[in-house]
Chain A
């Protein structure tokens, strides 16, 4: 069994798109709750470093939504009280909580996304769409640290000539502009060398391919199949799962459709956490066994 994080980048990317899509377009507290649960589970397994309090910070979005929405939205049947002659309604409060839950769940998913998708994985995904786009991103990733280094070199050189001074605002501004021009000149002039180098390595030969070190495996296929099935089931009843908040909180479809949709969506949301956790445990056990085996052989 493969861990979630070692699945093919394209799988990861599509998975995050699907989960975020359903979470954001299906307003139903139960859906948000399931999504949040899955995101928290994955987060707990993947992110071991951040402090718990800091990690749970996005949860604040839920009560915040509950407080803010009624102030601006006055729809709904059940009036709780009046604020500045405006009605504050129960439905508006529920809507705010649910929206807060959506934002909060999305934040947790995106956090995991940024932790699991390295620049290599992202470029692999973009390379599938357009090799040129992937190359351009790679060029930029190469260029940024280079420019940073050069601007530091330039600042030091100017400083030692007494031309970079930060005594007052105008000197500071002038010094910064000077460094900017020196760096811009070197970037443009030396860019010609990079262009020549690309040309010499066949940049304009014709259609590019995008190479990546990632490969599809059977685990990706199984994962894709399970996800597609769960997503398909959830999408089929998506309209029925929606909840209308105004004037009263009502479910769009019947309860059985909601149950089916929720079950499918729960499977989708809990899959990464489960894969990552169980996969990690199994891998650890196999690794220990393998190391112990070598120890036993060594002691014979």
Chain B
């Protein structure tokens, strides 16, 4: 008898749309299963089947059994101790005000006695390394800590199966890697069965036992990780790690590499390439945005967040400012948008100090700013009303709006929300566009769409400054990049020079090719270089 088994599992919404269609799979105890697929392919609905308490309205047919017992037949109390569920948004799934109270929430709900709760909470806090911030308010935690707390608050009930819905989508790469390491530790040390859905798979696929790829409500592929990576085709390839994408770009023969280490072995069979001749740096136009010795802090006694920041972005550039969460790059962007007043130095927009723009002229035909959480821009019932409110020109963007306009802005996907918000801020016809983490929570195809749109906007003469921790995105689309560290922008240069010089803060493709194919920073470049230089085979 298998541990988890789905047979003919289907789910239909009340309006008749089918989110899942006759899905079958079997999962063994202790498996680490990663689920991926395009937005709307039914992944989230599939995960919700494991936790009937949070299923939306609709009808389920077929069965999902755990140790032979149908999951819908479990009582609430049994379900609490059997299946744990972690959601995407680290912020909203936190229930209480203090860390220790959050950990105690589930045991309190189960009505456990004081002594038992004390033991469980202490044990889980110790295991997760929460002791240092045990007494803190949940509001004071970083994004990574919040998500770790959510995981711990679920694990405190000691479930046999852990289901996670894009848990690292909102985290920066370092916090995401920590989170995945903790999952793998739980999986390895306690034989916890992990079923996880995610867009960002670079670190995740190498540690997964099995992959499940969804498409239009069905299971497209399900099986051992390496096998599924090899068989993936078309759109699904975009989700794979750099090494596997390179493998597919070069024809996909032999064993599919998954990690950076395997990728380096894989390209060794291709002829090496010396560092490409650095193209002459593009001659710069007039400056569009300049930070000049900018200093800013949030409180009189807190340290400077911007410590004499100096950076110039030129007209018609797509500039990416990279850095970890909390490094102050969002603050730099807010200072550029005139939302903060530096206590020293100045910000110049198109050569003019920002204070000289009077009566909101800065925000008319000049500068637009898109915040990290675009939901704060929405206050209407439909996308159409959102766009009409500001007289937006949605048709300027190469987006199919037909299915979106009558939907509620909170019901559309993260990528669609991003595009709606972008259309909204573009209504002011800006010449300078400031974006804060635009790729946060987007899957690979949505990122490609967004990147394409940014390139198109650039062709109309727009200057774009993008704050991001997504190295792959910056490598593919930026004209220049800089690293934000300790309140300053460091090492502004073309992506090729920037990432080729970085050893750790760089793209996976660069880490695979370093020393063998020099000056390569994207999978496309690596594939191109391999094809030109020849070699390969076994």
Q: Interface on A for B, CB 8 Å cutoff?
A: 119-120, 123, 131, 135, 138-139, 141-142, 145-146, 149-150, 153-154, 156-163, 165, 167, 178, 181-186, 189-191, 193-194, 196-213
Contact = CB atoms under 8 A, between A and B. Distances in A.
Given A200-B53, A211-B118, 10 more contacts: A138-B98, A139-B95, A139-B96, A142-B97, A150-B376, A160-B368, A182-B379, A197-B150, A204-B53, A209-B112
A271 to B, nearest CB: 28
25 contacts: A120-B98, A138-B97, A138-B98, A142-B96, A142-B139, A145-B137, A150-B373, A153-B371, A160-B425, A161-B427, A186-B376, A190-B92, A190-B375, A196-B54, A196-B87, A196-B93, A199-B54, A200-B84, A201-B95, A201-B109, A202-B109, A203-B109, A204-B76, A208-B109, A209-B114
Contacts of A163: 390
A191 B410 CA distance: 12
Given A142-B138, A197-B93, A205-B76, A185 B379 contact: yes
Nearest to A207: B111
Contacts, number: 173
Chain A at the B interface: SS class: helix
Interface stretch (B33-41, B223-231, B282-290, B334-342): B334-342
Nearest to B360: A162
Nearest to B103: A211
Contact of A141 (B97, B113, B378): B97
Interface residues of B, number: 67
A182 B154 CA distance: 31
Nearest to A203: B109
Contact of A138 (B96, B150, B157, B428): B96
Given A157-B369, A160-B337, A160-B368, A131 B96 contact: no
A156 B339 contact: yes
Contacts of B94: 142, 194, 197
A135 B368 CA distance: 42
Contact of B95 (A167, A190, A198): A198
A205 B111 contact: yes
Contacts of A197: 87, 92-95, 150
Nearest to B376: A154
Contact of A161 (B79, B91, B428): B428
Contacts of B370: 157
B328 interface: no
A139 B360 CA distance: 39
Contacts of A191: 92
A202 B80 contact: yes
B426 to A, nearest CB: 10
Could you say which of A158, A197, A198 has the most chain B C-beta atoms within 10 Å of its C-beta?
Answer: A197
A159 B91 CA distance: 24
Interface in B69-128: 76-77, 79-80, 84-85, 87, 89, 91-98, 100-101, 104-114, 117-118, 121
A161 B339 CA distance: 11
A120 B136 CA distance: 11
Contact of B390 (A131, A154, A161): A161
Given A165-B360, A205-B80, A160 B338 contact: yes
B531 interface: no
A153 B100 CA distance: 28
B6 to A, nearest CB: 20
Nearest to B100: A213
Nearest to B95: A198
Nearest to B92: A193
Contacts of B118: 211
B51 interface: yes
Contacts of B111: 205-209
Contacts of A196: 54, 87, 93
Contacts of A182: 376-379
